Chain A
Amino acid sequence: MKKVLPVLVLAAIGMLLVLTVAEMPTFGDGQAPAHRGVMDKYLRDSAQDTGAINTIAAIILDYRAYDTLGEATVLFVAVLAVSAALYQGEHHA
């Protein structure tokens, strides 16, 4: 019983996910709902507004630079958390 129960639960979850994948729009479709929105504005205006020809760098470092600042903070907090967890009660010289 202990070895069969995870396999049964995962088979149910896996079947649900596979049925969802079968209902998604086809891979590579040009008219998919994921391509509406800001993609056209970014591809059209990024060379003129930012001066960078790499569109992804222009998105994460100019249009959404504040989100990348939050991500740099997450890296900083990770080092802080590892340092706090491993060096408990120690006095650094």
Chain B
Amino acid sequence: MHDMVLEVVNRLLLPFIQLFGMYILFHGHLSPGGGFSGGAVIGASLILYSLTFRFARVKHRLDHDTSVFFEAAGALIYVAIGFVGLFFGYNFLTNRGVFPLGVPGQLWSSGMILIITLALGAKVSGTILSLFQELLEGGSDEHGNP
């Protein structure tokens, strides 16, 4: 079932939605927002894409393995950033002596906060897309087949 209005409006709107999500992510330390809000907006845009362009056409680009990869990569980067502080002789997850802090108010400032915000954005968007795909497939039936 190809609905022309849905497809055309989605093709026009989706780049702007993702640009807005990236703006929220990258300005997490300058304006309200941060990792969780930006990740939720990007995840919602990916769900909109999956719902409109019928699941089969999407599957080769956004299948289950890709979303699980992004989610696990986000969590791994978070823990790895924590261990950098331990490596230099301070506590776990320190910001002040280890990462370059910069001038407050500019884009490339606040060391650890920017990197963790991007990792959390990847993790939350991967989580939302992965939950949507698993609930849509519905799991296995009683003989163990998907």
How distant is the Cα of A60 from the Cα of B36 in the complex, in angstroms? 11
Using Cβ atoms and an 8 Å threshold, which residues of chain B touch A78?
127, 131
Contact between chains at B104 and A53 (CB < 8 Å): yes
Q: In the complex, which residue of chain B has the Cβ closest to the Cβ of A76?
A: B75
Q: How large is the interface on B (under 10, 10 to 19, 20 to 34, 35 or more residues)?
A: 35 or more
Q: In the complex, which residue of chain B has the Cβ closest to the Cβ of A47?
A: B104
Judge if A79 is at the interface, Cβ distance under 8 Å: yes
Contact between chains at A50 and B120 (CB < 8 Å): no
Contact between chains at A86 and B31 (CB < 8 Å): no
Q: How many residues of A contact B (CB 8 A)?
A: 33
Using Cβ atoms and an 8 Å threshold, which residues of chain A touch B92?
66
Contact between chains at A82 and B31 (CB < 8 Å): no
Judge if B138 is at the interface, Cβ distance under 8 Å: yes
How distant is the Cα of A72 from the Cα of B79 in the complex, in angstroms? 10
Contact between chains at B123 and A72 (CB < 8 Å): yes
How distant is the Cα of A86 from the Cα of B79 in the complex, in angstroms? 28
Using Cβ atoms and an 8 Å threshold, which residues of chain A touch B102?
51
Q: Kindly supply a per-residue 1/0 record for chain A positions 73-88, scoring 1 wherever the CB is within 8 Å of any chain B CB and 0 otherwise.
A: 1011011001101111
Instruction: Please report which residues of chain B, range 80-113, place their CB below 8 angstroms from some CB of chain A when the two chains form the complex.
Output: 82, 92-93, 95-96, 101-105, 109-113
How distant is the Cα of A57 from the Cα of B96 in the complex, in angstroms? 15
Among candidates A57, A72, A73, A83, residue contacting B117 with C-beta atoms closer than 8 Å = A57
Using Cβ atoms and an 8 Å threshold, which residues of chain A touch B111?
51
Among candidates B29, B72, B120, residue contacting A53 with C-beta atoms closer than 8 Å = B29
Contact between chains at A72 and B30 (CB < 8 Å): no
Judge if A65 is at the interface, Cβ distance under 8 Å: yes
Smallest CB–CB gap between B34 and chain A, Å? 5
Using Cβ atoms and an 8 Å threshold, which residues of chain A touch B110?
50-52, 58
Smallest CB–CB gap between A45 and chain B, Å? 11
Smallest CB–CB gap between A42 and chain B, Å? 14
Using Cβ atoms and an 8 Å threshold, which residues of chain A touch B135?
82, 86
A contact residues vs B (CB 8 Å cutoff): 47-54, 56-58, 60-62, 65-66, 68-69, 72-73, 75-76, 78-79, 82-83, 85-91
